[in-house]
């Protein structure tokens, strides 16, 4: 089993597919959830929540592919039933609690929740329902707290499809070629759809049609596949080349610079069509550096620290619950305080100094309770299944 690094920069997990626990991945989840929560809590101009979701996608692609390939290498097969049960035990318990609670709180706070929104949340099609039904039905016109489930739907669709791809394409070079073709195809398709939407004007760009490139599984699957591609390539003869790239001092700097540039470009066609591609390539390079580059041991120590790892472990529950907390709190606040902060992203001093910390603290406490009382107990069953994927 190959390892990367040496000396102070040593990496203690396998480069090639394995079931090793990689603590910095939880740390990256922590970074992602901070971006999402602060973005939704009025600081979207500074903290890009959409990019946080893109990071979640990349991590899922890398980790799940790494685990499935390790199982395939060790046993010669992938136990699809066990894999899907593991995913269900990992994701569904918290989901079936948060959906009805979020729906009730949203209504009590003055918002509207439809039966179709509840069903979409429970059965993973929020990302498509949002393209035909408005979700700005929370109190005062904020997003319905069930809106965040669009990304959970995209990931679940990946879990249902990708194992079959690995089973039918055992030849790794052909698998890599197929994934590259899919990624390029999605990029071209998304760019075309984005261009046609912008050409139609506000009727599309300010309406539900604009959500197609952001939420559709077929338009966002590439954000997950970049992580899958890295996991696959690190198990092939391309690994030494990638490791040299990940150990270059300039690679991480370049990756961060390109991500920042992608956030600054405001052209609507780029934002809807090419932004996710640019960020996917940057994450491929940046996450590779953090996980396997000797010069970046400091980043691994930071991301692998206990507070960061804990926040990463709570991130799923925190993602599910933070908009529920926001929806429940807004009716208790003076309208002049929260409307500019949430709807126009212009938070005032009182919001920043008092409301934002209280919302964040309440969300974290609720996430911790959900993690220990709802998420953890069903996962005990996973020890009876082959190599659980966390």
Both tokens of 346, joined, read 């212009």
**Whether the Cβ atoms of residue 187 and residue 277 lie closer than 8 Å to each other:** yes
Asked if residue 45 is part of any domain, the answer here is yes
**CA distances in angstroms from 30 to 26, 145, 158, 277, 316, listed in the order given:** 6, 20, 22, 22, 10
| CA–CA distance, 383 with 154 (Å, rounded to integer) | 26
Instruction: Report how many domains make up the chain.
Output: 1
390 in a structural domain:
no
| DSSP helix/strand/coil, 14 | strand
Residue-range definition of the domain harbouring residue 369: 25-384
Q: Are the CB atoms for 308 and 30 separated by under 8 Å?
A: yes
Look at residue 74 and give its three-state secondary structure: helix
Alpha carbons 154 and 211: distance in angstroms, whole number:
13
pLDDT at 7: 42
Q: Is residue 67 part of a domain?
A: yes
- β-strand partners of 3: 14
Rounded-to-integer distance, Cα 185 and Cα 235, Å? 24
**How much is the pLDDT for 383?**
63
Q: Is 5 a domain residue?
A: no
- In the chain (390 residues long), the average pLDDT of successive 10-residue segments reads 51 92 97 96 90 98 97 91 91 96 97 97 97 92 95 97 92 95 97 95 89 96 98 96 95 97 95 97 98 95 96 98 96 78 68 94 98 89 56
Distance CA 384, CA 390 (A): 14
Cβ pair 300, 24 in contact under 8 A: yes
Residue 350 within any structural domain of the chain = yes
17 lies in some domain: no
- Asked, for residue 389, whether it belongs to a domain, the answer is no
pLDDT score at 343: 53
Which pLDDT belongs to residue 335?
78
pTM of the predicted model as reported, rounded to 2 decimal places: 0.94
Task: Say if 16 falls within a structural domain.
Answer: no
């Amino acid at each position: 089993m190959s390892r990367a690094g040496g000396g102070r920069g040593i990496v203690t997990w396998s480069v090639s597919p394995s079931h090793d626990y990689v603590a910095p991945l939880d740390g990256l989840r922590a970074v992602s959830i901070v971006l999402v929560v602060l973005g939704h809590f009025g600081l979207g101009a500074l903290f890009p929540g959409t990019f946080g979701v893109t990071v979640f996608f990349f991590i899922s692609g890398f980790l799940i592919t790494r685990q499935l390939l390790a199982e395939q290498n060790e046993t010669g097969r992938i136990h699809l039933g066990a894999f899907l049960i593991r995913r269900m035990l990992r994701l569904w318990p918290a989901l079936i609690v948060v959906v009805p609670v979020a729906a009730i709180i949203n209504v009590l706070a003055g918002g509207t929740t439809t039966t179709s929104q509840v069903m979409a949340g429970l059965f993973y099609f929020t990302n498509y329902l949002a393209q035909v039904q408005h979700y700005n039905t929370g109190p005062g016109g904020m997003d319905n707290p069930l809106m965040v489930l669009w990304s959970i739907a995209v990931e679940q669709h990946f879990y249902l499809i990708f194992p079959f791809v690995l089973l039918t394409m055992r030849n790794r070079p052909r698998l890599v070629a197929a994934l590259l073709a899919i990624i390029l195809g999605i990029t071209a398709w998304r760019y075309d759809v984005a261009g046609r939407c912008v050409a139609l004007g506000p009727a599309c760009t300010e309406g539900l049609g604009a959500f197609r490139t952001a939420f559709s599984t077929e338009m966002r699957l590439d954000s997950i596949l970049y992580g899958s591609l890295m996991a696959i390539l690190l198990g092939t003869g391309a690994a030494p080349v990638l490791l040299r790239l990940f150990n270059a001092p300039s690679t991480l700097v370049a990756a961060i610079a390109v991500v920042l540039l992608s956030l600054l470009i405001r052209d609507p066609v780029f934002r809807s069509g090419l932004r996710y591609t640019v960020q996917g390539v940057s994450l491929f390079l940046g996450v590779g550096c953090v996980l396997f580059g000797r010069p970046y041991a400091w980043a691994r120590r930071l991301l692998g620290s206990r507070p960061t790892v804990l926040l990463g472990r709570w991130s799923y529950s925190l993602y599910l619950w933070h908009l529920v907390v926001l929806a429940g709190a807004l009716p208790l606040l003076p309208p002049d305080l929260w409307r500019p902060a949430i709807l126009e992203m212009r938070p005032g001093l009182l919001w920043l100094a008092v409301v934002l910390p209280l919302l964040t603290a309440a969300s974290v406490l609720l996430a911790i309770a959900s993690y220990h009382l709802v998420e953890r107990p069903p996962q005990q069953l996973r020890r009876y299944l082959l190599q659980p994927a966390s």
